[in-house]
Amino acid sequence: MEKYDSNRDGEISLNEFYNLFLSINDLFNQFLDHDEDFSQSIEPNEQLQIKNNIVAITFDIYVRISARLDYLTNIGPKNQQDN
Instruction: Work out how many domains the chain is built from and give that number.
Output: 1
Distances (CA, A) of 25 to 41, 61, 79: 16, 15, 29
Q: Is 58 in a helix, a strand, or coil? A: strand
What crossing angle do the helices spanning 59-82 and 14-34 adopt, rounded to 10°? 120
The residue segments making up the domain with residue 54 are 14-82
**57 or 26: whose pLDDT is higher?**
26
Tally of CB atoms within 10 A around 31: 20
In-domain check, residue 9: no
In-domain check, residue 78: yes
In-domain check, residue 4: no
- Span 39-60, pLDDT tens digits: 887 776 766 555 554 556 778 8
**39 or 69: whose pLDDT is higher?**
39
In-domain check, residue 76: yes
In-domain check, residue 1: no
pTM for this entry? 0.54
| pLDDT band, very low/low/confident/very high, at 8 (cuts 50, 70, 90) | confident
